[in-house]
Structure 1
Amino acid sequence: MESALSPKSIINVAAICGSLRKASYNRGLIRSAIDLTTNQSVTGMSINYIDISPLPMLNTDLEIDGKYPQSVTTFRDQILQSDCFLFASPEYNYSVTAPLKNAIDWASRPPNVWADKAAAIVSAGGGFGGGRSQYVLRQSGVYLDLHFINKPEFFLNAFESPPKFDDEGNLIDLEAKERLKSVLNALKAFTLRLNNK
């Protein structure tokens, strides 16, 4: 099958944050990624933030006659129409958050709409910067047939000095923004590569 993407195509990125807080540092990473594409620091990408808060907790009793609740159907359509994914994954108890796992599971219900697409993960937090959540998410990706970029990795200790975020959770650290830019460029290149195989 001929790819729908070419190097000149605009890549549609679905951005999903595992934290539901508006001032979340991880959500701030997504806002910064969107800024990088809108101000042309990263070209050829359009990032759409997808709010996962309306999703009900996974319960297959909600699947009636092969149909999902409307919020789930809308979410699944957004995932299906995207070329690749950017996950901002905070770490809770050495793992991914419940809202993020819930979203992953809803979109994996038959037919799995994650399959055979590229993805990248960024995270901010204390200590290891959310890194353990990334390993758990990568494990899920194996079953989902998601293809995560391996390098560059992006873990950010949000509590080191100087401050990495402002009071509203916006990324202000210039070095971190450059690292985020590298992640987006790698995601773009890998997405084009997968679609031109």
Structure 2
Amino acid sequence: MEAAAAALKPVINVAAICGSLRKASYNRGLLRAAMKLSTESIEGMKINYIDISPLPLINTDLEVDGTYPPVVEAFRQKILEADSILFASPEYNYSVATPLKNAIDWSSRPPNVWAGKPAAIISSGGGFGGGRAQYHLRQIGVFLDLHFINKPEFFLNAFQPPAKFDIEGNLIDADAEERIKKVLLALQAFTLLHKGKC
């Protein structure tokens, strides 16, 4: 009976997007940790990493008869099919990174595939841990009709001792992992509420 109940538990599909293209990016490390947590300790959540590096710089000259380049169409479809979005947003010059803004802009072209999606943000960096970029991303989300969870927030100063990441950019801080888990649980609950399944 318990197995049957577990089988009926709705599974939400989360699209995970990292704003940094660097392989050892700390923000990408946060997403790897989130994916591991979702597999090992959060029932009913599947996180799929979506690579934004193949996307060309946005240029409406590439739009032909209402269609987009194949790589853009594929990216947009993945966003459309996701139940919710998990952004890992580095901070560049007090704002979101160019690759992330580019991905956002491509998917906001008609029809806007971000519209109505629940979302959460995690970030790592110096100082405020990417907080300014998060606030800019939330502002962008207003126009996109993204619905961000308000709490818990997750900012991580990557450079304040003790070390938070290993040399390959993997998260090694247990407290940070627990905080990411709380973000994921909040995103899961908000997504299910949004979908009318709880």
**Counterparts of 1:193 and 1:146 in 2: how far apart (Å)?**
15
- For residues 28-54 of structure 1, give each alpha carbon's deviation from its aligned partner in whole angstroms, at most 9, with x where no partner exists: 000000000111x12210000000000
- For residues 100-141 of structure 1, give each alpha carbon's deviation from its aligned partner in whole angstroms, at most 9, with x where no partner exists: 000000000000000111000000000000000000000010
| Number of the residue aligned with 1:33 | 34
Deviation at 1:65, TM superposition (A): 1.1
What residue identity is the alignment partner of 2:174? L
Q: Does 1:133 align with 2:130?
A: no
| Number of the residue aligned with 1:171 | 171
**Counterparts of 2:104 and 2:9 in 1: how far apart (Å)?**
30
Structural RMSD (CA): 0.9
Q: Residues 1-197 of structure 1: matches in 2 within 5 Å? A: 8-39=9-40, 41-196=41-196
Q: Which runs of 5+ in 2 are unaligned?
A: 1-7
What residue identity is the alignment partner of 1:195? K
Deviation at 1:98, TM superposition (A): 0.4
**Counterparts of 2:183 and 2:160 in 1: how far apart (Å)?**
21
**Counterparts of 1:24 and 1:115 in 2: how far apart (Å)?**
28
**Counterparts of 1:107 and 1:65 in 2: how far apart (Å)?**
16
**Counterparts of 2:15 and 2:140 in 1: how far apart (Å)?**
18
Secondary structure in 2 matching 1:48:
strand
Secondary structure in 2 matching 1:135:
helix
**Counterparts of 1:160 and 1:140 in 2: how far apart (Å)?**
29
Return the TM-score normalized by structure 2.
0.95
**Counterparts of 1:163 and 1:138 in 2: how far apart (Å)?**
28
Q: Which runs of 5+ in 1 are unaligned?
A: 1-6
| Number of the residue aligned with 2:5 | none
**Counterparts of 2:9 and 2:131 in 1: how far apart (Å)?**
33
Deviation at 1:8, TM superposition (A): 1.5
Aligned residues: 190
Higher normalized helix content (fraction of residues): 2
Deviation at 1:147, TM superposition (A): 0.2
